[in-house]
Structure 1
Amino acid sequence: MKQRYFLPEGSILDFNPTLRSGRYGLEILDFAILASRPNGKFQFLTSCFLMLAVFFSPLTANAADITQQLHRPLNNSSLRESRDQADTLLRIGEQQQISGYADKTIESCLQALEIYHALGDYKAQGMTYDLLAKAYIELNRFQDGEDALRRRLAIARDTKDFQAQIFALNNISTVLLQKGEFTPAGKTVEEALTIAHNVQNSAGEGLSLSNLGLVNARLGNYNKAIKLYETALSFRRQVGDILGETNTLNNLGEAYLAVGNYPDTIATYGAAMRIAKTTRDRTNYLRAIDGLVMAHSSVGRYERAFDLLEQRLVTARELQNLREEFKSFMTYGNLYEQLNNYLTARNFYERALVLAKALEDSKQEVFLVDKLIKLPKR
């Protein structure tokens, strides 16, 4: 899928926030919680060593390895791994994903899956596949992401978990969109919408309507997409789904931008940014800024665009997320290149190149080297 923004890549995925709920406590990795339990000091140190081991262990797994790893014989040591260790791995995986280390997230998830499989914990396996899929997709490994999501869907169907089916189908639909498979994406999300309507799951209806709007937007049916987004917003507000509302507002802003309606684009993205800032939803906050930068620069309001971009860079650094910092530098470079300020553009592209190397993103390295060669000297 082609990205209309300055950024080389971006997320439009509306994932089920399953990682926010339940006893697994996956919102933020907080060692203070571990330390407050019985034998907290021991658990704290164990978790620290485990995090270091996961962070620095070599990456050897991919989606094709999932089945092999889950079904290989476990030694006695692996069998003694406690549920707490698997839960900790999953927490670490989410923190790695938040910090921009999607490759490390994959390794953590595969280790957690091995333990959950041994325990026969289908609910935990489903949650892990959700996070694993998100990590694959952030690395543009869409087929691997789809594979993980279809495994998650199979678990939901086996356990007759209709809500999980709704969200898994929506997630598969968004991956198909990323792969440019619009017709299958539409059929998949329509199946999710039907299930949501039949079981009267308003949250699922809001999500499915929003993603159906996304399908229509990718097909160029922007007016229909806008109507679907507006209907989705009513469901999301009805159930108090603040995260979903913010995501749909961002989608709606994108549709307005596509039809050249800059006043509504700015108003909608602005609403999304304000809500995301209040709720500390950094993903939607950054995405709203990206839309606003595009809208303001399109009408010549470069000063406002640079103000917003500065906020973006500050947020990326607060998150210590090198990937988002890289995107900020790329956007800076693109804006200055548009203004024919090639010297400053070169400076930001060079800084982006440093981060691309740190992220081991060879694709972006090649792109930036070529960009710097072709960029005018003055």
Structure 2
Amino acid sequence: MKQKNLLPGQIQPVFPLKMWQRYQNQHIYTFYIFLFTCLLMPVAANAADVTEQLHYPQSQRVSRDARNEADSLVKIAEQQLKQQTPAKAIDSLLAALELYHSIRDLKAQGLAYDLLGRAYIQLGRNKEAEDAIRRRLAIARDTQDFRGQVFGLNNVGSLLLQQGATVAARETFVEAVEIASKIKNNEAQGLSLSNLGLATARLGDYNKAIKLYETALTYRRLVNDPLAEINTYNNLGEAYLAVGDYQNTIGTFGYALRLAKTTRDRMNEFRAIDGLVAAHNSVGRKERASDLLSQRLTLARELGNIPEELRTFESYAAFYERQGNYKTARNFYERAIVLSRTLEDSQKEVILLSKLTQIMKK
């Protein structure tokens, strides 16, 4: 259910881009009562001065200027997030929030908290992210923003899943589904059902998860959001794989792979390939699994994605080890170790060295 990304892979979308684009231009102007102190000043004012002050009160000008500056900071923060500089985005968003607080614009605050949560997640600061997300949810409830509540609940649930609080996450997604159903919003229903399916699968009830994913797909197709649709297809494929339904597993991952290639959704393309490799291995189709691994390696190299290239080497090693071809498996473990050192990932290096040691004894 990662709908980038907050939580890579399965959770999708933590911060729906469509909803942010819809809300971005919705501003509520707050006006202060004009103080007529200028009329009490001993200095005389001409007619033009008084007319200008009546039409453009100082408090209104301050509010307008603060809003313009805050909106500009939010736009800058969006660009900084796209450029993978979340620390800078946090500075921009905190400054914007201070201005939105000063003019008491709750809706704008909520949208800024959305982005702030996303920035904290990119930095791995989950505690601050949860605080920002819960603030956004509270604002949505205060303003009776039901769509905002749905997406806020999905964000909270996604963080709970990441923290391992699966039961609490499921309850949160259930609430999101209930609100989404009441407002009859297709995008909200598709997202909430897909995430509820993920939490249900994490609790081991794969058959129920499959039904939730299938229902979610009916809504995701209606809103023509292929990225969200691919994510749910991958989730569904993993559930089919878990129950040993290899025919549906291959069909589902195959469709996800084709859609991911069309939309150039590279991370979901990797996920779909991994699912297909597992399924074909399970039914003894070694040549097809090998072809898919070759595709995976080519894709990783074309993208210059070293972490995914490392994962491909790991998959190759496991593939050959399963067949008893230990010499080739050792070769791929060694290549993976080299890349782990390039990435300075000492934890991964230790794991790979342990596997290499075990395989050398065979």
Q: Tell me the TM-score normalized by structure 1.
A: 0.70
Alignment check: 8 A CA contact 2:230 2:268 kept: yes
Greater displacement, 215-224 / 248-257: 215-224
Q: Extract unaligned runs of 5+ from structure 2.
A: 1-6, 25-68, 101-107
- Structure 1 residue 218 corresponds to structure 2 residue 202: yes
| Cα contact 1:209–1:229 (8 A) shared by 2 | yes
Could you say what secondary structure the match of 2:21 adopts?
Answer: coil
In structure 2, what is the Cα distance between the partners aligned to 1:350 and 1:88? 44
Report the structure number with the largest CA radius of gyration.
Answer: 2
In structure 2, the partner of 1:188 is: 172
**Structure-1 residue corresponding to 2:260:** 276
**Which residue pairs with 2:153 in the alignment?**
169
**Counterpart for residue 63 of structure 1:** none
Identify if the C-alpha distance between structure 1 residues 147 and 85 changes in structure 2 by more than 3 Å, giving closer, same or farther. closer
| 8 Å CA contact 1:276, 1:285 repeated in 2 | yes
Which of the residues 12, 16, 22 maps onto 1:14?
12
Q: Is the 8 A contact 1:94 1:131 kept in 2?
A: no
CA gap of 1:168–1:333, structure 2 versus 1, over 3 A, is: farther
Cα distance change on mapping 1:217 and 1:295 into 2, 3 Å: same
CA deviation digits over 1:250-274, x for unaligned, max 9?
A: 1111111011010110001111111
Change (3 A) 1:148 1:368: farther
Deviation at 1:226, TM superposition (A): 1.2
Aligned-residue CA RMSD (Å): 3.1
Distance 1:202 1:23, change over 3 A: closer
Matched with 1:321 is 305
Whether the aligned pair in 1 keeps the contact of 2:77 and 2:90 (CA below 8 Å) is no
Aligned equivalents of 2:317 and 2:127: distance in 1?
Answer: 31
Alpha carbons of 1:94 and 1:324: their partners in 2 closer, same or farther (altered >3 Å)? farther
CA distance in 2, matches of 1:195, 1:24: 19
The residue type paired with residue 110 of structure 1 is I
1:340 maps onto 2:340 in alignment = no
Give matches, 1:83-232, under 5 Å: 87-96=75-84, 105-120=85-100, 122=109, 125-132=112-119, 134-136=121-123, 145-158=129-142, 160-232=144-216
CA contact under 8 A between 1:126 and 1:155: conserved in structure 2? no
The letter of the residue matching 2:268 is: N
Describe the shift of the 1:302–1:151 C-alpha distance in structure 2 as closer, same or farther (beyond 3 A): farther
Amino acid aligned to 1:126: Y
CA, structure 1 residues 209+83, in 2 after alignment: closer, same or farther (shift >3 Å)?
A: closer
Partner amino acid, structure 1, of 2:89 = C
| Partner Cα distance (1:159, 1:321) in 2 | 43
Aligned twin of 1:264: 248
Match of 1:362 among 340, 346, 349: 346
Q: Which moved more, 1:161-170 or 1:216-225?
A: 161-170
Distance 1:163 1:326, change over 3 A: farther
How far, CA to CA, are the matches of 1:258 and 1:320 in structure 2? 31
In percent, how many aligned pairs have the same letter?
51
When normalised by structure 2's length, the TM-score is 0.73
